[in-house]
Amino acid sequence: MKPYYADEWVTIYHGDCREVLPGIDPVETCISDPPYGLEFMGKGWDKGVPGEEFWRIILGALLPGAPCLAFGGTRTHHRLMCAIEDAGFELRDCLMWLYGSGFPKSHDLSKGIDSAAGAEREVVGEQTKARSEAAKSALPTMGSPVKYETWDLTAPATEAAKLWNGWGTALKPAWEPIVLAMKPLVGTFARNGLRYGVAGLNIDGARIGTEDSYNVPQADFSASSDRGSMMQGAAQESYRLDQRAESHPSGRWPANVVLDEEAARQLDEQSGERPGATSNSTGRTAAFTTPCRLSLAEGYADSGGASRFFYTGKASATDRGENNNHPTVKPSDLMRWLCMLTKTPTGGTVLDPFMGSGSTIFAAKESGRPSIGIDIDERYCEIAASRCAQGMLDLDGVL
């Protein structure tokens, strides 16, 4: 099939991924935001979660050991996970993307009762709230232009409405799952990596940055110490402790929780200022866990809110690009982090079989990775091609 758009880094196909994928060479990564099956805004493409048939074909388009990251909805991600697993993938983890910009899609029961009764409600005030352009018509997208809306506050008119005043039908959305799966390995991780060029995750490349790094002196296991007394005899032989341990200069180990700027701010407000996990000036805490095992909890001598332990995507006012009316655009910084997490030593191609407006392939390009995007809607292929063509790319130090 002839590409809809292609440049040095990006190839876009307009069509059904089930028809396009058999014609491409296997690649190293799949990162995608498939339909959630919520019939979102009445969109035809969101009538169902892609089933096993889709993911079996996607599996065939990946190299052994290739990771697959797929966004899901909180109400339907169980169907997504089952389809991915039934297709032959191994489920490895489930990330949580927390965001603070969600708005409730809830029906006011009190208003519904009054409306059904034909009763007119008295206006008792008004409320003003900031809403992004994206939030009016889509899932939350950080960095969208902020608009302020004002609406009337009304009082219940009927006795039944008064009884049900304050009741709704939904919670405020604040997170989305990201399923982390893997095409089965051929042999061990090491053997698979050497043979196919893909294995595991790019942990150091996706670490949570910190400027602090320091050492821990050798632990005292002498009989005169309290800990040494506990470790005497045969049990002591089962202990293993490095002579010298360091907090990693690139930062903390990446977690399976991901925040956006607003979620990070809210978390820090709740946690307050907290120092690193230290019991002394070394910055680490020695903790006995199970019998015959001593664990050193990794620590840093920094301080701040709890959000510093997780990746925080920075909002960008230009994330969506010009004329991008896709209702479920994901933040580019979030997608870049996922591209770095799954990057192979040589880069590796990223596949997005449900491309939408191109957030994945745009992020892959900015991460120095080639990508392939596929979408059945030509309008979104046009938007994605425009974003990739207009995007400013600075690869200094990336490759």
Residues 6+ apart with CB under 8 A from 65: 182, 183, 184, 185, 186, 189, 192, 193, 196, 198, 199, 200
Judge whether 22 and 62 are in contact, CB under 8 Å.
no
Q: Give the residue carrying structure tokens 């935001």.
A: 33
Task: Confirm if 301 and 212 have CB atoms less than 8 A apart.
Answer: yes
- pLDDT truncated to tens, each residue of the chain (399 aa)? 899 999 999 999 999 999 999 999 999 999 999 998 776 545 554 567 999 999 999 999 999 999 999 999 998 999 999 999 999 999 999 999 888 766 778 899 999 999 999 999 999 998 776 554 444 433 344 444 556 678 889 999 999 999 999 999 988 888 899 999 999 999 999 999 999 999 999 999 888 765 433 233 333 434 444 434 433 443 343 333 333 334 566 677 888 888 766 666 766 676 666 555 443 333 333 332 233 222 333 444 555 665 555 655 655 556 666 667 666 678 888 899 999 999 999 999 999 999 998 999 999 998 999 999 999 999 999 999 988 887 644 433 333
Q: Distance between CA atoms of 335 and 331, rounded to whole angstroms?
A: 7
The radius of gyration of the chain's CA atoms, rounded to the nearest angstrom, is 25
CA dist 236 and 268 (Å) reads 41
DSSP 48: S
Q: What is the pTM of this model?
A: 0.73
How far apart are alpha carbons 284 and 242 in whole angstroms?
Answer: 13
For residues 71 and 176, the answer to whether their CB atoms sit within 8 Å is yes
pLDDT of residue 172: 83
Q: For each of the domains in the chain, give its residue range(s) and CATH number, in order of start.
A: 5-100+174-206+312-390 (3.40.50.150), 109-163 (no CATH), 215-253+275-304 (no CATH)
The percent of the chain in helix, strand and coil, each rounded to the nearest 5, is: 30, 25, 45
Q: Which two tokens stand for residue 123?
A: 């206006």
The structure tokens listed for 299 are 């620590």
Instruction: Report the C-alpha gap between 102 and 105 in whole angstroms.
Output: 9
Q: Which helix (H) or strand (E) holds 311?
A: strand 311-313
Q: Can you give the pLDDT at residue 315?
A: 53
What is the CA angle 354-360-363, rounded to 5? Answer: 170
Q: Beta-strand (E) ranges in 138-238?
A: 146-155, 175-182, 215-216
Q: How far apart are CA 7 and CA 389, in angstroms?
A: 8
Tokens of residue 354, six digits = 């449900």
205-218 per-residue burial string, b: 16 or more CB within 10 A, e: under 16: bbbbebeeeeebee
Amino acid present at 137: S
Encode 254-279: b = buried (16+ Cβ within 10 Å), e = exposed: beebbbbbbbbebbbeeeeeeebebe
The total of other beta-carbon atoms located within 10 Å of residue 322's CB is 9
Nearest alpha-carbon partner for 373 in 69, 57, 47, 362: 362
